[in-house]
Amino acid sequence: MTRNERITVVGGGIGGMTAATALAQAGFPVTLLEAAPVFGEIGAGVTLSPNAMKGLDHIGVCEKVAAAGVEPSRQRVQHWQDGRTLVTMERTGQREKYGAPYVYIHRADLHRILVEAARAAGVDLQTNAAAARTEGTSVILHDGRRIEGDVLVGADGLKSVVRQRFEAVQAHFTGHVAWRALAPVEGALADLASFPGIHIGPGRMITRYPVRGGSLLNMVFFARQPGWTEDGWSLPATPEDLAATYEGWCEDAQAMIRAAATGPIFKWAINARKPLSDWNLEGRITLLGDAAHAMTPFLGHGAACAIEDAVVLSRALAASDTPEAGLRRYVAARHERTTFIQAESNANADRMQGQDSDLFGLGTMRDEESIGLFDYDCRTVAI
């Protein structure tokens, strides 16, 4: 492609911001449209495995992100009833083994670094720019403004406006709900923060890990609750709801529930998408991240896939003579991997929330590392 073709990225989250930066660094004029009045991230923690960090290295922020986060030395899976360790995963030597670190980070800290990188790359960052619909490669905003471009990238998440051009189907409820909370690392939480991991049990699990230099513990509680579909990412929840859901769980779980009760607790329904057959429309419109392949969080790879998409998209467009050719190369390089991860994430929920937790880890492990996800390098994968 010539570097004169204007690229519009809809959505200023992790994937959209990474894509805009990578494309601008490759020489394209890029406009990024964000619905919110200011750039920022809601939520709490995010896990960035080595494959994700390689993507952040591509845009020059890997070490900034690592410095703002926490690199764990180990993780474990524990039994819901007595807290005993079922499996230990060593995380030392990730840089040497995979060429990039494994990092826990607060989403707001990661997003701040990505916004700085996008500004430095010369991206036209526009807030209060909610997309109402698209026409061709143009975006019509809710306030009536029309943003023209030559290539349109939908990075606008689970409820993507751009994806409506591919299929007029809403995301589906997966049968899982989640609560999230942050608490200071003190007292009973100190040991849990120093040895992060997951408690697993029938139909439920709890994930925990430190962020903000180890000063805060990020906690996410998952449970199967068919029929609960109330919409929203930041719906207030009560400690009583959480305590009732995990009644009978071990003292570690109760300690986390008590800590969560000292601050705000948020609950949301976990929705996802079925794979599309293609993310290339008219040779000028494409998708990435949750807009393309929203998945359950049970492999911790939603953000990683969005970052990988962003880097491969920028490389494919930069290496091609036309947008049509670039988008074909992008989809060919990414579709199979993301579809596989979507399926494996669903299967991992069944493995970790099965009825017989005592047997977990006795057979062959199938987690994100054992199935080879960490080896992937979006900087060099064939396009």
- The single residue of 98, 102, 104, 209 carrying the catalytic annotation is 209
The radius of gyration of the chain's CA atoms, rounded to the nearest angstrom, is 20
- Count Cβ atoms below 10 Å from residue 235 Cβ, excluding itself: 14
What are the structure tokens assigned to 150, written together?
């030559």
pLDDT of residue 278: 96
Q: Are residues 166 and 178 in the same domain?
A: no
Q: Are residues 253 and 329 in the same domain?
A: no
- Count Cβ atoms below 10 Å from residue 118 Cβ, excluding itself: 28
- Told to judge if 330 belongs to the known catalytic residues of this protein, a careful annotator would answer no
d(CA 92, CA 102): 9
Q: Are residues 161 and 237 in the same domain?
A: no
pLDDT band at residue 196 under the 50/70/90 scheme? very high
User: What single string gives the DSSP state of each residue in 103-139?
Assistant: EEEEHHHHHHHHHHHHHHHT-EEESS--EEEEETTEE
**Which amino acid is it at 291?**
A
User: Does residue 82 form part of some domain?
Assistant: no
**Domain limit, last residue, from 245, 272, 299:** 272
**Domain limit, last residue, from 272, 292, 308:** 272
pLDDT of residue 346: 85
- The predicted model gives 231-237 an average pLDDT of 75
- In this predicted structure, the answer to whether residue 198 has a pLDDT above a threshold of 90 is yes
User: Does residue 335 form part of some domain?
Assistant: yes
What are the structure tokens assigned to 142, written together?
């809710």
Crossing angle between the packed helical segments 323-352 and 302-318, to the nearest 10 degrees: 160
* Average pLDDT score, the chain: 93
294: Cβ contacts below 8 Å, ≥ 6 apart: 157, 158, 171, 271, 272, 273, 302
Per residue in 103-151, pLDDT (tens digit) is 999 999 999 999 999 999 999 999 999 999 999 999 999 999 999 999 9
User: What single string gives the DSSP state of each residue in 303-370?
Assistant: HHHHHHHHHHHHHHHHT-SSHHHHHHHHHHHHHHHHHHHHHHHHHHHHHHT-S-GGGTTSS---STTT
21: Cβ contacts below 8 Å, ≥ 6 apart: 59, 114, 117, 118, 121, 123
- CATH code of the domain in which 253 resides: 3.30.9.30
Q: Are residues 157 and 20 in the same domain?
A: yes
Q: Report the percent of the chain where pLDDT is more than 70.
A: 96
Q: Are residues 154 and 194 in the same domain?
A: no
Q: What stretch of H or E contains 167?
A: none
- In this predicted structure, the answer to whether residue 364 has a pLDDT above a threshold of 70 is no
Domain that holds residue 224: 172-272
**Domain limit, last residue, from 236, 254, 272:** 272
Crossing angle between the packed helical segments 14-25 and 107-121, to the nearest 10 degrees: 20
The pTM score is 0.95
User: What single string gives the DSSP state of each residue in 204-259?
Assistant: EEEEEEEETTTTEEEEEEEEE-TT-----SSEE--HHHHHHHTTT--HHHHHHHHH
Query: Which of 176, 159, 178 is CA-nearest to residue 168?
Result: 159
CB-CB contact of 210 with 227 (8 Å): no
Number of structural domains in the chain: 2
Q: Are residues 252 and 114 in the same domain?
A: no
- The predicted model gives 177-197 an average pLDDT of 96
- In this predicted structure, the answer to whether residue 3 has a pLDDT above a threshold of 80 is no
User: Does residue 39 form part of some domain?
Assistant: yes
User: What single string gives the DSSP state of each residue in 134-147?
Assistant: EETTEEEETTS-EE
Q: Are residues 319 and 230 in the same domain?
A: no
- CATH code of the domain in which 101 resides: 3.50.50.60
pLDDT of residue 44: 86
- For the chain, what's the residue count? 383
pLDDT of residue 235: 82
Query: Which of 314, 7, 23 is CA-nearest to residue 147?
Result: 7
- In this predicted structure, the answer to whether residue 361 has a pLDDT above a threshold of 60 is no
pLDDT band at residue 179 under the 50/70/90 scheme? very high
User: Does residue 118 form part of some domain?
Assistant: yes
User: Does residue 223 form part of some domain?
Assistant: yes
User: Does residue 1 form part of some domain?
Assistant: no
Q: Report the percent of the chain where pLDDT is more than 90.
A: 84
pLDDT of residue 1: 67
User: Does residue 83 form part of some domain?
Assistant: no
pLDDT of residue 347: 85
- In this predicted structure, the answer to whether residue 234 has a pLDDT above a threshold of 80 is no
Q: Are residues 247 and 332 in the same domain?
A: no
Per residue in 297-343, pLDDT (tens digit) is 999 999 999 999 999 999 999 999 999 999 999 999 999 999 999 99
pLDDT of residue 357: 65
- In this predicted structure, the answer to whether residue 355 has a pLDDT above a threshold of 90 is no
Q: Are residues 12 and 157 in the same domain?
A: yes
d(CA 193, CA 255): 12
What are the structure tokens assigned to 48, written together?
């960035």
- In this predicted structure, the answer to whether residue 225 has a pLDDT above a threshold of 80 is yes
Q: Are residues 11 and 59 in the same domain?
A: yes
Q: Are residues 262 and 249 in the same domain?
A: yes
Q: Are residues 290 and 333 in the same domain?
A: yes
User: Does residue 98 form part of some domain?
Assistant: yes
